[in-house]
Amino acid sequence: MKSAIILLAKCLSLLLFAAAIYISEPWRAIPPEWNPWAPLALDHPMNMVTRWKLNQLRNSPAQCQAVLEADQQGTLDYTALEDYTPVEGCPLTNVVRINNTGVGFNAPFTVTCPLAVAWVMFERQQLQRLAVMHLDSEVSQINHYGSFACRNVYNRSSGRRSQHATASAFDVAGFRLDDGSTVSVLRDWDRVEDPQKAAFLRDVHSEACGFFGTVLGPDYNQPHENHFHFDTSNFGFCR
């Protein structure tokens, strides 16, 4: 009888403790970028939890769309696209058409929604900061070589598909700044005559590695001497 009473008391204590936890909701004190249950937002600083949330968007188109729709700045100009197959053998799923992000582009482009989210986060949290720090001017336009291309890696006749075949990659060639100047990956990566531009490009490459699964640049190989390649594959492959 006595043991039963003790057991009942322990159970009641446990229930009271659980109720206190539920009522106080201590998880609400966790910053949203560190809270696994809080929805991802474009202004969340990048950390291991943010990276995990970003990765989850691959299999949740509705959740990914919600991140873009909740943009607090209201400067995103994009169109959510239905799944379709623009070229036989290269179906596209969970993709959006980007026209403007608050920064212009030399041409609209189609990318997977998770890549679009990663790009906007990088652009706002790091790219503009680095432009002001090194060049005293914000970026007004991104010059790119596109995203979707139904091909194998390096256009080989056989082998694995490129990330471009699913619009999961984005190639950036350079930047135009608010002051009218331009920065080119090909021209300025090692340009000793303009060390500020070279430093800007190297920091862009380095900081991008925290937002994208794969980042490739001029030091990787000759095919990338004129652009940065950003995609959502792998984790932290930065060359």
The secondary element (H helix, E strand) that includes residue 231 is strand 228-231
**pLDDT at position 25, please?**
52
**pLDDT at position 72, please?**
84
**pLDDT at position 69, please?**
95
The strand ranges marked E within 43-192 are 77-80, 84-87, 90-92, 95-100, 104-105, 109-112, 139-146, 169-177, 182-184
pLDDT mean over 74-86: 95
Interval 90-143: pLDDT, tens: 999 999 999 999 999 999 999 999 999 999 999 999 999 999 999 999 999 999
Q: Give the burial class of 27: count Cβ atoms within 10 A of its Cβ; 0-12 exposed, 13-18 middle, 19 or more buried.
A: exposed
**pLDDT at position 27, please?**
47
pLDDT higher at 63 or 12: 63
**pLDDT at position 10, please?**
58
What's at 75, amino acid-wise?
T
> pTM of the prediction?
0.86
**pLDDT at position 235, please?**
73
Rounded distance between C-alpha atoms, residue 135 and residue 177, angstroms: 9
Radius of gyration of the chain (CA): 23
Query: Is the CB of residue 99 less than 8 Å from the CB of residue 108?
Result: yes
Query: Is the CB of residue 166 less than 8 Å from the CB of residue 95?
Result: no
Q: Give the burial class of 69: count Cβ atoms within 10 A of its Cβ; 0-12 exposed, 13-18 middle, 19 or more buried.
A: exposed
Residue spans per domain, the chain: 1-30, 33-238
pLDDT mean over 184-189: 98
Residue 233: φ, ψ to 5° = -85, 165
**pLDDT at position 156, please?**
85
**pLDDT at position 236, please?**
74
Interval 143-178: pLDDT, tens: 999 999 999 888 887 778 899 999 999 999 999 999
Interval 19-55: pLDDT, tens: 444 564 554 668 998 999 999 999 999 999 999 999 9
pLDDT mean over 209-224: 95
Distance of alpha carbon 97 from its chain centroid, rounded?
15
Tell me: pLDDT of 232 over 60.
yes
